[in-house]
Each structure stands twice: as structure tokens, then as C-alpha cells.
Structure 1
Amino acid sequence: METGWIGDADLVRAIGHVFGSTGAAPVAVAVLTPEHELTATVGAGHHSTFEIGSISKALTGMLYRDAVERGLLSQETILRDLLPLENHGEIGSVSLSSLAMHRSGLPGLPPGMHPLRRNYDFWIRGRNPYGDSLADLLEQTRNMRLGAPRPRYSNLGFQLLGHAVANAAGSSYEQLLHDVLGAGFSTPARPEQLGPADLTGSSRFGRPVAAWVGEALAPAGGVRATIGTMRGFLRSVLDGSTRGYSALDPVSQFTPRVGIGAGWITLEFQGRAVTWHNGSTGGFGSWIGLDREAGVGVVVLAAQHRSVDRQGFRLLMRFAPPGGGRAVS
């Protein structure tokens, strides 16, 4: 294991068996069990913020479920009821419940986004490909045709879902996120809104990458958080005190072996029911997962474009007790 990890000794020892060499990128890890809350970092402080990527979708799913439970909207509410889509064709008839399950018929990205040009700007020039405003996003969806309502992972769907739910609450997305899930999350819309605590991510080759910021992006992949914020959020999920908790319960099959709630994914891993989500931006990787029966959860944040799924699953299995049941110290 690379030296430099600081934090709770039990977690630092476990990281040695799971991570191997971390490279030069900052990484932060939190593990919660019924008895302990453990945190360790390398290259980052407890106040450093990471892009959490598509874990933002799990948060948005909880905002949606909370809004349903408060009677602000229903599962039958359609986008046209909450966003100015009267002249946009088929997209206005999409239900929020189908968006939350990735079963709306929407593509992964809006067709008006010019993905080839944006990918070129990102990979060759290192530019942020997702700096759109909400108005830009809505314009890109004009006259878009829907596909079949089958499972299809859609960033666009969760962008629209988050902003629709915020409008139902008479709020911005970031304010609703603070009101429902806590003030530690941020959704910067422009680079100048970033501060000294906001880490700069890197490509898998170590090249600095522009921050992925943008108003439209926030509900699907534009949230930032510290490891402390994520640890507190994970605690509220594990003890069931968080609002929108029902988002974790699967309501449909995404694949034959994978269930989906509102954003959250469930699957059986090494004989355990794991509820989880991952995230990836141009310069960051992230993972959050829970064994709800054992009362154990893990968060991994890395300031580098890399998958940390394997490390997250391995840490979860390491701290959850064998054979199921509640964790013990």
C-alpha cells in the first residue's frame, strides 16, 4: 500500500488489502457499521470536495420520493406539468416515475447536445462538456422523439427529473437538496463558483481536468461533497432517518439480476443484497453502497477518472459479517 493514508487505524489497515497503490490522486473513504464510523484519506483533507458524479442520481431519486410522500407531485405527474415543455412534442408526456427508473424512452443525452463536438472538446482540449443552463437543456429536447419505454440508463432523464421536482417544490435544485438531504452538498453552475476546497480532478493518465459544472447537469452528475458530508448522509440512510428513504427499495427490474428503485440500484453480491450507485466524471470516480441487513455502508471518492467499484464492493464485504446479519466489531 502506498504510504500517506491517514485516519482510523482499522480502515487504513483494510485499505492496504483493498486498494494497493493509489497513485497520486486524492482519495477519501468512509465506512459505517453499527458500532463504528471510520474515515481515511490520502492527498485530501476532510474539507476537500469531490465531484460525486452519478451518485447525484441517487440523491435526486430521494428528492423525488420525498416530494411524492409530501404530496407535491404523484408518480403519474408528467414533465409538462412542471417544466415549460408545452411545445416540445412527446417529451412533455413522460412521467416522473418512468424517469426515476430509467424507463422513460429518453436517450442517454439530448440529441441537440452535439456529443461528438463536446467529446472532442473534452478529450482533446480538456473542456467541461456539461456547462449548459436549464434553458439550454430544454431547448435541446425540442421535438425529440421517444424510444420504447424499456430500461435504458439516461443522464437526460435524471436532469429533467431533478429540475421538475425542484419546480414542484418552488425551489432550485440545490436549495431543495439542502432542504431535504443536508447543506453539505453543492452544485456549482460555473467555474468561478469553485473555491479552494474544491479539488481539481485528473484523467486516468494524471492530466488535470476541467471541473464538470453546470446548472442542467446537477441532478444527474453535478453534485460535489466532502467525505464528511457523504459519511453523514450514509449514516442517515443506514439508520432510516433520511427523507426519501423509499428510493432505495426496488420497484422494477433493470436487468434480470439488477433491481432499481428511484435511482438506486440493487443486486446480489456474494450472497448479500447490496444497494448502491457509482459515479464517474472527467476527473473523478465515486462509489456508495450499503448492506442494509448488516447495517454497513461504504463511500469511496477519488479525484481521478477511474472506477472505484471494485474497492467499494470489497470494503463492504470486508466490514459486513459473514453469513449475513448485523455487523460486529
Structure 2
Amino acid sequence: MNTATASESSNTPRPHSAPDESGTQRTWVAVLTAGIVGVLLLLITPFPRGFQGETTGDAALVSQVENALDSGHWHHVAAAKINGDDVTWGGVGADENSEFEIGSITKTVTAALYADAIERGEIDERTNLGEVWPELDGEVAEVTLASIATQRSGLPAQEPALSFGDGLATFLSRYIHTDPYRGTATDLADSLRNVDVGPQEPEYSNFAFGILGQALATVTDSSYGDLVRERITEPLGMTDTYVPRTAEGLSHGYTASGLRAAPWTLGGTAPSGAIRSTAHDMSIWLRATVDGSAPGSRAAQPREDFDESDRIGWAWFTTKDRSPNLTWHNGGTGGYRSFLGFDPKTSQGIIVLSDSAISVDDAADVISTSNASSLGTQRPSQVHDDQAGGNS
């Protein structure tokens, strides 16, 4: 757009010695505008800072966690360190009973339900989606639950949009920090009729794990939330762990830039990342998985190579480049991050739950260190922190 004044657009030449006053004014206006915009951005964007609030529990553990994670737009954190039967808790602005979204650590529970269903004789490792939903045909009907559990099903990484409007709402949710998952369990199963099955190679899929959980619910004539309660949390005494039906009960987490992010329930995709829990209950889950007393605990045993750094069991990853190697999973939603890992040989473990969308994977360093190799120093890969991109 031409912003020149009438006098500026005339053909009368200016003396070379005269200053370009209008140009100088435009420069100062631009500088002033940039300064105002910069100040406004500073006012609405939180500064990097350390964890907020009072230290709770074991101060030495809190120090270890803080040193491992460094600083960022942190808010509150709760941690648990396991050493055999001994558990140490610590936190900042939170304690072992504070509730968090655990994100994709939910997948370890879904995998345990899968292993438990096999042990009960309800399914076997050859069971495919066509046996669960007979109306399916073609390649998708041949996809086995076992291939889903080892993240090599060929199913899409994310849930297909129900409609153009739904896809637009999901896209916008990334910018207004709300739950991007809108479909019900029925919607999720119905979407299988229109998906393309890709190569059955290692590829992390939230959609597939949503399907796995809903398949188990269908086979057992139950709901995913009821299965979690009846087969996992009640037998283990995990009284503060559940699959939410609504967003109520948890106020919000924070984005990586420190803005508020709404809770996620994930709808039909809940089996991939919706569970809410505490550091206390996650310590029960970790210890029971390590000692084999958890239903479906054999899900943690590595079965296949996943990538250069990890092997995979049913959902659980096991590193190949740390000392000692850890069996682990992480998670993330719009405003939360989590990490859980343990050394199967020593029964040492670490759990970190945070209400900020900044990776806490480096919590692994509390009990295990990266090994240098020809590929460089490795650590648990953030690629599995899937819900950061709209489900981690």
C-alpha cells in the first residue's frame, strides 16, 4: 500500500541537502511499534524459571530431579524413587498424592490389560481386529492386537478426523490449548473402516493403542475405564488412579511457554493416554510391574527392536545404550509430562510427574546414565513423548 503524502508524490525534486523527515518519522514509528510489541510479548510470555512452590518430601531426591531436568517454564513436580521395597518421595509445589495426567504411561496399563486378557484366555496373540469387529474386512481386519501392542501395526499415528469440522476443531485446539480428541469409542472403532494400513514396521501410534484398549473393552463386554478399575487399580490398591469421563477434577496444566492448558480426557482414544494418577500410585504400579505381581506384568519384557536406542515389549521400551539399561515409558498431554523407568536387574526405578509441557525424560539420569557410542550420547528418545504433538 502506498503511504506517501501528496507532497512526497509530486514531481518537484528535493534539495539533496534536505533531510528526509517523513522517512525518519517512519523509522521512529517502526522502532516504537516494535518496542511496544516486544513489551507486550514479554508481559504475556512467562520467563524461564525453576519449579514453583515449597519443597515436599525428601530434599535430596528433589535436588537430584532438579539437577537432571535443569530449569525451564516449570511449575510443579512430584517424584518417586524406588529401590527394591523402599520408596522415597519428593516434590516442589506438589507431593506424592498430587494428581497429574500421566499421558502415554497409560499405554503400559493398556498393554497390561492386553497381557492379562491373554492369560485369562479371552484372546491370544493371533487375535486380529476382524475377530473383534466382524464387520471389518480387507487389510485392517488382519491387523493383530499383538502388532498394535509392539507398535508395528501399520495403522495411522493419529485418530482420523470424523469430519472437516472436527478436523478444524482439532487443529485449532493446538493454539487454544484444549483437548484435541473428540471421537467416542464407537467413533474410533467405526473409523477403522476407512483407514489405510501401512507397512507393519516400528511406528508409534496413539490411534492404534486407542483401538487396542477399545478392542479389549469390546471382547470383555465392558468399558476401558471399568477394565482399568476392575483389573488393575482395585487389585493393586491404586485408589487415586482412574480414567476420567470428563475434564472435571483437574484444573489445568501449563504449555511449554507457561500458558494454561485444559485437561484432556481423549474420548475414545483414552487407552493411549488419558489416565490420571499420583506419584504414590505410580510407585505401586512400578514396583508391581518389577516384581511381577501386577496383572499383565509380562508386558514389560522386551520382544522386538524398535529403533537404534530401544527395544519394545508390549508398550514398554527398554534402552540399549544406557548404564544400566532401563525399561521405561514417558507421556505428555497439552499441559503435563511424565516419565517412568526402572532397572529390571536392581529393581531401582524413578517416576517424575510434572504439570508443564516440557519433557522430563532426563529424569532417567537419576538412576541411569547415557553411554557414548558411535552415534553420540543417547538418552530415552522424546519421539515417544507423543502427545506433545496432539497425541503423545
> Residues 125 and 19 from structure 1, CA distance in 2 versus in 1: closer, same or farther, beyond 3 angstroms?
closer
| Alpha-carbon distance in structure 2 between the residues aligned to 1:109 and 1:23 | 28
Which of structures 1 and 2 has the larger relative contact order (alpha carbons within 8 angstroms, sep 6+)? 1
Q: Does 1:224 align with 2:276?
A: yes
Residue in 1 that maps onto 2:354: 302
Aligned residue identity for 2:347: G
Q: Does 1:186 align with 2:236?
A: no
Q: Does 1:268 align with 2:320?
A: yes
Contact 2:105 2:340 in 1 (8 A): yes
Deviations 1:21-47 (A, max 9, x none): 464512110111025211112122443
Q: Does 1:214 align with 2:247?
A: no
Tell me by how many angstroms 1:110 deviates.
Answer: 3.1
Aligned-residue sequence identity (percent) comes to 34
Deviations 1:88-136 (A, max 9, x none): 6532221100110111111101333568624532222222101321112
Residue in 2 that maps onto 1:157: 208
| Alpha-carbon distance in structure 2 between the residues aligned to 1:205 and 1:13 | 23
Residue in 1 that maps onto 2:182: 131
- Name stretches of at least 5 consecutive residues in structure 2 with no aligned partner: 1-49, 370-392
Aligned residue identity for 2:131: D
- Alignment of structure 1 residues 1-329 onto 2, 5 Å: 4-21=54-71, 23-34=73-84, 36-83=86-133, 86-87=135-136, 89-113=138-162, 117-183=168-234, 184=239, 185-191=241-247, 194-195=248-249, 198-310=250-362, 312-317=363-368
User: What secondary structure is seen at the aligned counterpart in 2 of 1:31?
Assistant: strand
| Alpha-carbon distance in structure 2 between the residues aligned to 1:237 and 1:140 | 33
For normalisation by structure 1, the TM-score amounts to: 0.88
| Alpha-carbon distance in structure 2 between the residues aligned to 1:315 and 1:273 | 13
Aligned residue identity for 1:189: R
Contact 1:204 1:306 in 2 (8 A): yes
> Residues 232 and 206 from structure 1, CA distance in 2 versus in 1: closer, same or farther, beyond 3 angstroms?
same
Deviations 1:148-176 (A, max 9, x none): 11111111110010111122223211111
> Residues 297 and 36 from structure 1, CA distance in 2 versus in 1: closer, same or farther, beyond 3 angstroms?
same
| Alpha-carbon distance in structure 2 between the residues aligned to 1:119 and 1:214 | 11
Runs of 4+ aligned residues of structure 1 deviating over 6 Å after TM superposition are none
User: Structure 1 stretch 114-123 or stretch 276-285: which is displaced more?
Assistant: 114-123
Aligned residue identity for 1:284: Y
| Alpha-carbon distance in structure 1 between the residues aligned to 2:127 and 2:68 | 44
| Alpha-carbon distance in structure 1 between the residues aligned to 2:191 and 2:66 | 46
| Alpha-carbon distance in structure 2 between the residues aligned to 1:92 and 1:189 | 29
Superposed CA RMSD in Å reads 2.1
Tell me by how many angstroms 1:236 deviates.
Answer: 1.0
| Alpha-carbon distance in structure 1 between the residues aligned to 2:80 and 2:292 | 18
Contact 1:89 1:143 in 2 (8 A): no
> Residues 20 and 105 from structure 1, CA distance in 2 versus in 1: closer, same or farther, beyond 3 angstroms?
closer
User: What secondary structure is seen at the aligned counterpart in 2 of 1:92?
Assistant: helix
Deviations 1:140-197 (A, max 9, x none): 3322221111111111110010111122223211111122221432111322xx22xx
User: What secondary structure is seen at the aligned counterpart in 2 of 1:56?
Assistant: helix
- Name stretches of at least 5 consecutive residues in structure 1 with no aligned partner: 319-329
User: Structure 1 stretch 177-186 or stretch 11-20: which is displaced more?
Assistant: 11-20
| Alpha-carbon distance in structure 1 between the residues aligned to 2:354 and 2:218 | 32
Aligned residue identity for 2:288: S
> Residues 90 and 35 from structure 1, CA distance in 2 versus in 1: closer, same or farther, beyond 3 angstroms?
closer
Aligned residue identity for 1:14: Q
Residue in 2 that maps onto 1:326: none
